[in-house]
A and B are shown apart, each in its own frame.
Chain A
Amino acid sequence: MKWGVVRFPGSLDDGDAIWALADVMGQEAFILWHKEESIRGAECVLLPGGFSYGDYLRTGAIARFSPIMKSVAKFAADGGLVIGICNGFQILCEAHLLPGALTRNRTLSFICERVHVRVENASTPFTRAAHNGDVLRLPIKHGEGLYVAPEDELRQMEERGQVVLRYVDASGRESDDANLNGSTRAIAGVANERFNVFGLMPHPEHAVEPMLGGTDGLKIFQSIAQGPR
């Protein structure tokens, strides 16, 4: 599968995404410069982590207007696969390609830690290689990962299975302590209604090598590599 990794000014985990996809997994992955108009035949667009435009004003608020985002939106509208990790998730929310928004962690501080997330819906193109209830160990590293959305919308999202990942403890149980950033309903990752756009705060690209915190992140990328359903 061909992966296009968008590089915004202030993107930081773009190189890590390329490393995970190309060097570790042997996939074809290339950088899409934010000023480009085309996604150049990418079959999955990845919006990486970082502090695009310094995350000034609101995280992802300014990056959303980069030229490349027009074609990303179009690609998504046509059913193309788009994944946003951390800052990428924030950008997708700001661009209204995903519901909700991400705000200041309840600790009001940046949190860098390996956490556990439970796969709530393994039938999406992003989680297919896992099973419902699987617990993945992935790192989070963000200051604004507290997921919020209007209650009624949350209810619908749950019904439709759009809540794809939830923070849990190592044994897979929900607990307040496991929900470090204080996200509503411990939400760590969500998909759109069509299940072709996915955003998550944890970093799968930082969990692809045994010596660097395990390989659970591969599950996400392997799912996507199976292509759109």
Chain B
Amino acid sequence: MTEARNYTAAEILPILSARQLRDGQVVFAGVGTPLLAATLAQRLNCPRLTILFEGGVVGAFVEPGKLPPSTNDQRCTRRANMVLGSSDVLLLLQRGYVDIGFMGGAQIDQFGNLNSSFIGDPANPKTRLPGTGGGNDISSLTNMIVAMKHEKRRFVENVDFITSPGFIRGGTSRHDSGLPAGGMFRVITELAIFGFDEKTRRMKVLALNPGVTREEVQDNTGFRLDFDDEIAITEPPTETELRVLRQLDSERLFIA
């Protein structure tokens, strides 16, 4: 990447993620980048985007400069249409009311499976990670967008532990496991935008971020990547996107 940029890696993630959302969608958002991206989309071109939070919130408009530190904080209920129990908001996913689940990820594999539970052998782990939270429920029950940092150790061929299922072992294995609905839709990183092959369910590059090469993406990935036949180059963040984003996270909790 040779060009000078007026944005950071932590800023491009929510901006590109926000662009994936469509006005009128019902989106179940995790804390951090997903919350920030969904709120950004609401304030840019999706004023009728409905955001659900795991704490039990439907249709919130989070206040600029007051991002919640988790999806279970009162800040998540700002101008909400409805507040309900945590199990009940998760059941809305199961019933099918949600278009998109939107999460961060610590480790992902070629089939879009996410690991946030264990590094190493679960029986005797090198690192015990925080665990699934609602991640397993969300990724089991709806179409997913994941926004995460692109590092080789995070993009692995097969995760040590499937915390949140993507396409499991590819093909029809997700469906065969008892998960007929949903699946990985997009992965957004500071390098590229990824989709999944309709048949093999392996990850493939749909678009490169501005100034990023195919080689750079492949070099930072722990498995062989496919590239879409009609690969695109993503437009860089606009002034408006950056301005609104920085207003939203003026405390710089997530874009520092």
Q: Real complex partners, A and B?
A: no
Q: Which residues of B are in contact with A by a Cβ distance under 8 Å? A: none
Q: Which residues of A are in contact with B by a Cβ distance under 8 Å? A: none
